[in-house]
């Protein structure tokens, strides 16, 4: 049986990746690893119902020795890394915490993994934010211009992986996805925050009037890209993964309002722009289509409907859940 390990496996994207693998492939076992125990209620996506799934709470920085022991016991064929301190907008305070996880812990982990014969591939989930604000779709070899400490911390590890792949033959790929969204996502993210706010009659802050543009990908589409790359892609390559065109944050809120059947002006209030907010993230994903055949399959109508149904089903729990980003230990 082929074995995947999902680092950052307690987060929504890691959980959707696990679910995709378990629902579509009977010969795959998934090991989830996260810094904390699985979140309660709707945020765990009922992942423990799968018999070929096991979860470990091991902190990638503070408990890396225990994490390495677990990996040595499980011997996964493929490791997918989602583990990160996220959210660039809040990374201006306690910036070292972002480098601690996103750069230091991960480079230390991979230095230990280099010698492991059982590891066939390490797939790292990077970020489109490392290209900075753009006026045309970013290609994988374009200049890297991070605009926040978060993006800078992600760049550092990307460059480390590229170097150990080139000189030490470490079997890796890097995926730089556009902004992902899905059911089970924490409520500081714009899409679940907007939908839950609309369901309970609150307004969301629209920073800078929502003029910033980002490319959005549903976590299920990202999971499919991860599977294809982990099985078919040449080792050592970097791939952008996202839709063809970006969408303004204002447009995203408008689409949510339409799904909720409420007026746009009843759903949001304009607030000041965020520090270091790039005006546009936009990816050229032609390379991943050429190499493994991936292209977007889930578009706005289907993707937002999935989040809306999850929010409605769990609104009694979600209506009192925090909507601000929580910097984790």
Which tens digits make up the pLDDT trace of 121-132?
999 999 999 999
Nearest C-alpha neighbor of 127 from the set 97, 149, 105, 95 = 149
The DSSP 8-state label assigned to residue 294 in this structure reads -
Residue 233 is predicted with a pLDDT of 98
pLDDT category, 49, cuts 50, 70, 90? very high
Q: Do domains 2-180+216-241 and 184-214+245-278+299-318 have the same CATH topology?
A: no
Q: Residue 62: is its pLDDT beyond 90?
A: yes
Residue 151 is predicted with a pLDDT of 92
**Contact criterion met (CB below 8 Å) for 47 and 15:** yes
Beta strands in 59-151 (DSSP E): 78-81, 121-125
What's the pTM? 0.95
- d(CA 129, CA 133) in angstroms, rounded, equals 8
For residue 128, how many C-alpha atoms fall within 13 Å in the half-sphere facing its CB?
28
Please give the C-alpha separations between residue 305 and each of 114, 199, 258, 293, in angstroms, as whole numbers.
42, 13, 11, 26
Residue 277 is predicted with a pLDDT of 54
Domain ranges for the chain: 2-180+216-241, 184-214+245-278+299-318
- d(CA 106, CA 222) in angstroms, rounded, equals 21
Average pLDDT, the chain: 94
Q: Which CATH number fits domain 184-214+245-278+299-318: 3.90.25.10, 3.40.50.10140, 3.30.70.2860, 3.40.50.300?
A: 3.90.25.10
Q: Residue 325: is its pLDDT beyond 80?
A: no
Segment 80-105, tens digit of pLDDT: 999 998 766 677 888 989 999 999 99
Residue 296 is predicted with a pLDDT of 97
CATH no. of 2-180+216-241: 3.40.50.720
């Amino acid at each position: 049986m082929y074995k995947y390990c999902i680092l950052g496996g307690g987060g929504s994207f890691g959980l959707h990746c696990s679910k995709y693998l378990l629902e579509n492939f009977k010969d795959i076992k998934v090991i989830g690893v996260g810094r904390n125990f699985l979140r309660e209620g709707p945020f765990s996506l009922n992942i423990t119902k799968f018999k070929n799934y096991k979860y470990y709470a091991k902190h990638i920085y503070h408990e890396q020795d225990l994490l390495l022991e677990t990996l040595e016991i499980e011997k996964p064929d493929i490791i997918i890394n989602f583990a990160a301190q996220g959210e660039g907008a809040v990374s201006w305070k306690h910036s070292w915490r972002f480098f601690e996880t996103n750069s230091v812990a991960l480079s230390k982990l991979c230095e230990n993994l280099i010698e492991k014969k059982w590891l066939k591939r390490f797939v790292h989930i990077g970020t489109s934010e490392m290209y900075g604000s753009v006026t045309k779709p970013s290609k994988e070899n374009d200049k890297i211009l991070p605009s926040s400490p978060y993006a800078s911390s992600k760049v550092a590890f990307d460059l480390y992986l590229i170097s150990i792949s080139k000189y030490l033959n470490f079997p890796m790929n890097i995926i730089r996805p556009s902004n992902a969204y899905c059911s089970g996502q924490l409520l500081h993210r714009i899409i679940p925050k907007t939908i839950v706010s609309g369901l309970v009659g609150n307004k969301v802050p629209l920073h800078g009037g929502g003029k910033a543009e980002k490319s959005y990908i549903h976590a299920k589409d990202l999971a499919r890209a991860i599977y294809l790359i982990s099985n078919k892609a040449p080792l050592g390559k970097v791939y952008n993964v996202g839709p063809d065109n970006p969408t303004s944050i204002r447009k995203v809120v408008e689409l949510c309002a339409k799904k909720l059947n409420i007026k746009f002006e009843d759903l949001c209030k304009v607030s000041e722009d965020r520090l270091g907010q790039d005006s546009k993230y936009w990816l050229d994903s032609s390379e991943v289509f050429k190499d493994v055949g991936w292209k977007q399959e889930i578009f706005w109508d289907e993707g937002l409907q999935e989040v809306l149904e999850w929010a409605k089903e769990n609104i009694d729990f979600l209506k009192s859940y925090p909507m601000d980003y929580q910097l984790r230990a």
